[in-house]
Copies of this chain bind each other. A is one copy, B any other.
Amino acid sequence: MKKKISLKDIAQKVGVSTALVSYVLNNQKLDRISKAVAKKIRDTARELDYRTNQIARSLKTSKTNTIGLIVADISNPFSSSIARLIEDEADKHGYTVLYGSSDENAERSNKLVNIFVNQQVDGLIIAPTEHTEAQLVYLKKNDIPFVLIDRNFPGQDMNYVGIDNYGAAYKLTQHLIDQQRKRISIISFTSTLQNLADRKKGYLECLRANGRTADNALIKEVGLLFQKEQVEQAMQQLLNLPEPMDGILFTSNTISLYALKYLTTVNIRVPTDLAVVAFDETDAADMFYAPVTHIKQPLPQMAGIAISTLMKNIAGNVAAIEVQLQGEMIVRKSSVE
């Protein structure tokens, strides 16, 4: 490895102290420093191709200008879209992003949190998975700034930005009802995560508000892991019912994906036989022969709020905020005859 240039090298070459070099290169005390020396320092720095050693600076200033981002799985389009937006927002503030995928696994999430904390990130943005409350409480207790996205733990007084999942599911369900669908099914997640549970709640509440009784045979749940197999099984069971559903709500982009793929293998026409609505916008659901009516989350806004909240928290302690944005329902062919 080639020797790296330090302040000391510049100082020696110019014949001044490292302090002076530091001041000049950081544009500090410029009113006190002679123009000639300043120029010489700058020229020499350029000539030697000096690069600030951020590690050393971070050690001294205890600021790394780095944030940690934990998503469920960066290869999921929801995660990578929000990650990209967060990256751009962070960049505007001079921050670089460290990232990791938790795989919906509390242990792995914990490992990532530890790595990031030891790496001295200035703050974290986390899409939390189940059973990670303790980690978050730990962060809070240690005054490490963080913002939750997509999912949260209510009543814990933590920064959060996401959408109104209850309302979104309600809207989708109502839409199916408005389209004269009689037997409306749902595939949601078995999860202790409030936000995912809210999607089912919105569905149930909407049915009730429309004077319908929920039919348990039409309500399926899958785990966050092994979704493919479970979704296929759920679809199979639903379609084999004596009286199958004529409308269905998928509560995530992955559930949609696997379910739609399954639908292409059986003889069911969307929307004629089955009207489909779902959460999240994806190219795949868009490419389905009947593009899917869905809830579009305001990701750019979410990323913006997440980062600006984090920046405020890094700058100084402020009260936690919980932001719930509204998802927009995009109506497409999959639900309209």
Contacts and interface: CB of A to CB of B under 8 A. Distances in A.
A75 B66 contact: no
Interface string A268-294: 000000000000001111111100000
Interface string A124-158: 00000000000000000111100000000000000
A236 interface: no
Interface residues of A, number: 53
Interface string A102-144: 0000000000001111111000000000000000000001111
Given A74-B74, A117-B51, A283 B286 contact: no
- 5 nearest interchain CB pairs? A283-B284, A80-B80, A75-B84, A287-B287, A284-B287
A84 B99 CA distance: 10
A97 B66 CA distance: 12
Contacts of A261: 286-287
A98 B101 contact: no
A101 B91 CA distance: 11
Given A55-B58, A100-B96, A287-B260, A143 B75 contact: no
Contact of A84 (B59, B84, B101): B101
B257 A118 contact: no
A282 B287 CA distance: 11
A54 B120 contact: yes
A119 B99 contact: no
Given A55-B58, A77-B80, 19 more contacts: A1-B143, A2-B143, A53-B59, A53-B118, A53-B120, A54-B120, A55-B120, A74-B83, A75-B83, A76-B80, A77-B77, A84-B101, A96-B115, A260-B287, A261-B286, A282-B284, A284-B286, A285-B287, A289-B289
A256 B56 CA distance: 47
A166 B96 CA distance: 36
Contact of A96 (B91, B119, B141, B288): B119
B87 A80 contact: no
A56 B54 contact: no
A99 to B, nearest CB: 6
A246 to B, nearest CB: 22
Given A59-B59, A99-B87, A289-B289, A75 B77 contact: yes
A4 B9 CA distance: 32
A119 to B, nearest CB: 5
Given A59-B55, A261-B287, A289-B289, A99 B99 contact: yes
Residue picked from A96, A97, A114, most chain B C-beta under 10 Å: A96
